[in-house]
Chains A and B, each alone.
Chain A
């Protein structure tokens, strides 16, 4: 009998997994069904550019079902819950889908309502986020009409998707207001719960220096307890305050609520405990997970999801053949950091190796942890790769799941 494979989520991870699995199995060997609640696939890295008028919102959205290859079923409905004991997914439209193998690829949810005041007065106006399409569009208006004052960028708490994106927003804001000849009228403050600009020491020092060079104030170890839209201030749990005229907030992230409604599947934040190397979940041997939905200690990034996909599909094939899993993901992440003025930096790292200077993928290539025009072009090209290589599930030549060490300055 054909294996029944159900994939939850048709974002980055679900789409690339479905397309890779379809190539592994003939239609008589496996049925593949993907479930998502809507048909709008957003290229999320593009959200960063919308507020600055560098990308139009319409240009980063495509229909989800068109990214799935022939022979893959697409079922549009909210997921209600998974019954682990019965190997069945219950959907919001009443359908029940039985599976032999389940892939969880439902990403992370934003939970702004968990922060006091955040969705109160001013939300969507003087308090906003570029982590959603509507928010990014709203910020485009706010920035275009900003007459000067205090712009604050705040991460409420980790984990968040693409931990470098808020820094990129700060760098682009500096460029944007310089370009408009009004930088002297704007105070930019970067407020983070971390003890430095970024999580990893070498990159944190470099990125912190870049904030300083640009006259962006850095406030660290700030645990936002309340966002007061009316009074225009962030208040931390230890009662420090940061005033703002416009607050760009990265809200708390969690897993998806349906995970919480599926006993045994998730942790207290609704992320799915997953083996960091094999990508099999702790919940059941026939449930695998990838991307932002998991609790693996890697960045929540599209590049991570892509590298995970390569390993995950190999392990699914082994699992369904009754073999032991031997594919191993090393935590490889690769992120471009847009720094403004047509330049960008690149960082490449994994579970054990923090980002360091050098070149990628080898001794010749893109400079690491250093601003360059080449990296900016890389960042722009990534959008093309996303739709044409990453989602179709092709390996990108020279860029594999294992992190390369050849070009890195390792101590």
Chain B
């Protein structure tokens, strides 16, 4: 299984760069993961989404779809695309250190 080093720590990822074990993620890793996705700084709304992604993963075993995020995270779909351009569900999943959401095929 591939690994990569984030914030000085080695973590397991799949071949698309998604974490395979969410428990290896820490908040300190998020800024570096975000920069890899072209997001220079994480604002409060980014963190709202990241925490929501982590919670959904923990409760349901998969991250939400963009529509699910838009309905329940308190951030609209339009804003999600501004925060995480080019596919919020996937990008936010990478930054939040959770596996690829099952909904995004």
Residue positions of A touching B, CB distance < 8 A: 157-158, 194-195, 199, 221, 223, 225, 237-238, 252, 267-269, 297
Contact A194 B105 (CB under 8 A): yes
Cβ-closest chain B residue relative to A226: B78
With known contacts A158-B105, A221-B87, A297-B102, A268–B81 Cβ distance under 8 A: no
- How many chain B residues sit at the interface, stated as a range, is 10 to 19
Residue positions of B touching A, CB distance < 8 A: 64-68, 71-72, 77-78, 81, 85-87, 102-103, 105
| C-alpha gap A225/B85 in the complex (Å) | 13
Contact B86 A268 (CB under 8 A): no
With known contacts A199-B105, A223-B66, A268–B72 Cβ distance under 8 A: yes
| C-alpha gap A269/B69 in the complex (Å) | 11
Cβ-closest chain A residue relative to B102: A297
Q: Which residues of the other chain, B, contact A194 by a CB distance below 8 angstroms? A: 105
Dominant SS at the A interface?
loop
Q: Which of A223, A252, A268, A297 contacts B68 (CB 8 A)?
A: A268
| C-alpha gap A269/B102 in the complex (Å) | 15
Contact A269 B67 (CB under 8 A): yes
Could you list some 18 contacts between A and B, CB below 8 A? A157-B65, A157-B66, A195-B105, A199-B105, A223-B66, A223-B81, A225-B77, A225-B78, A237-B78, A237-B81, A238-B81, A238-B86, A252-B67, A267-B68, A268-B64, A269-B68, A269-B71, A297-B102
Q: Which residues of the other chain, A, contact B102 by a CB distance below 8 angstroms? A: 297
Q: Give 19 new A-B contacts, CB below 8 A, not counting A238-B86, A268-B64.
A: A157-B65, A157-B67, A158-B103, A194-B105, A195-B105, A221-B87, A223-B66, A223-B81, A225-B78, A225-B81, A237-B81, A238-B81, A238-B85, A267-B68, A268-B68, A268-B71, A268-B72, A269-B71, A297-B102
